[in-house]
Structure formats: structure tokens, C-alpha cells
Chain A
Amino acid sequence: KQEVTQIPAALSVPEGENLVLNCSFTDSAIYNLQWFRQDPGKGLTSLLLIQSSQREQTSGRLNASLDKSSGRSTLYIAASQPGDSATYLCAVRPDNYGQNFVFGPGTRLSVLP
């Protein structure tokens, strides 16, 4: 059964710092991996989707990498801003049983002005 973990659970950084959020999954048999952002009391907003054949995806100041064989993904945020404060979740879609996304618990990010 696929399990997804995210480290750290919470992170506080000063504005302007570059930071990395980590996501690990136990089974490398996946279709793809998706990173989301969730603001308090809101739905999830998709940030990046990486297919299993891809190594990374970029969108603006965000860069997500995928190392399927080691079961890891990182989300790199460059030049962080207070508006980046949110919970970041990663999810993987197994290519076997279920085939529905399995979510990690999230990393709560605070960017201090």
C-alpha cells in the first residue's frame, strides 16, 4: 500500500529565503506526482504535476523534482514571499491498486516579513 510522508511538518523562514519541501513515497510504481497549496479554510490549488517519466517541472518561482526510483520529490521555492505562506501537500497516483491519488500530511510554511 502506498504511503506518503512529508518533512518537515512545519517550517518558518524569513522573506527572501530559498527553501525546499520534501515528499517521500513508499512504492515507486506511480503514474505521476502532484504538488498542491492549501490556504487556511480553502480548497487545494494545484501547483505542479510531474509524470513518472519526467525529472522536474517548473512554474515561476517553483521547481518540483521527482526521483521515482528512490521514492522522493522536492518542491523548491525561490525567493520566498509572505504570500507563499500556506500548507503544501504532495500526492502520488499509484499505477496499480486504486489508481487514486494518495496524499501526504502536508508541510505548513510560514514566510515572515
Chain B
Amino acid sequence: SQTIHQWPATLVQPVGSPLSLECTVEGTSNPNLYWYRQAAGRGLQLLFYSVGIGQISSEVPQNLSASRPQDRQFILSSKKLLLSDSGFYLCAWSEGVYYGYTFGSGTRLTVV
């Protein structure tokens, strides 16, 4: 069966520090991968998605970036965090347009 792993679960980082969040999927190949952010009291915002290795699409201009170094690995990064980067970050995967999303357990990021 397919599983999705996301870590760390919580993270407290100072302003200006770098960020690396990792997401991996098991039990499938060539998944579509997604990074979402959920700010307090707000809805889900799509940040990046990837349909294959090295293929990244950005939905929102920001100081975050994403990479897909391996088929089932999706990484969210920042060189210098801002206070506004605080939020709940969720990774998701899908097999294609006729399939739904499966989400990871999320990372709570607090920038101080």
C-alpha cells in the first residue's frame, strides 16, 4: 500500500535561517507531488507541484523553493525564513487527474 511521510512534525526557526522540509512517498511510482501551506485561520494555499523528477511548478511567488531530486521525494526549502513563512505545511500526492489527493501529517513551522 502507498504511504506518505513528512518530517519534521514541528519546527521553530529564527528569522533569516534556512529551511528544509522533506516528503517521501512509498508504494507508487511517478506520483504527482504537492506542497500546500495552511496559515492560521486561512485556507489551503498551493505552493508548488511536480509531475516528475526535476519538474517543479510554482503557484505563488515567495522566498520558498521546491525540488524533486528523486521520483518519490519532494523537498521544500528556503534560504532565509521570514516571519510570514510561519504556518502548517502539508505535502500531498496523487496518481493523476482521476485520482484524489493523499496528504501527509504536516509540519508546523513557527518562525521567531
Interface residues of B (CB under 8 A from A): 6, 34, 43-44, 46, 49, 59, 88, 90, 92, 97-106, 108
* Min CB gap B78→A, angstroms: 21
User: Closest residue of chain B to A44, judged by CB?
Assistant: B103
Interface residues of A (CB under 8 A from B): 31-32, 34, 36, 41-46, 49, 51, 89, 91, 93, 95, 99-101, 103-106
Nearest 10 A/B pairs, CB to CB: A49-B100, A44-B103, A103-B44, A34-B100, A43-B103, A43-B106, A43-B105, A105-B43, A31-B97, A99-B97
* Min CB gap B50→A, angstroms: 11
The main secondary structure of chain A at its interface with chain B is strand
* Min CB gap B105→A, angstroms: 5
Known: A42-B106, A43-B105. A100 touches B49 (CB 8 A): yes
Known: A44-B90, A103-B43. A93 touches B104 (CB 8 A): no
Pair B100/A89 contact, Cβ less than 8 Å? no
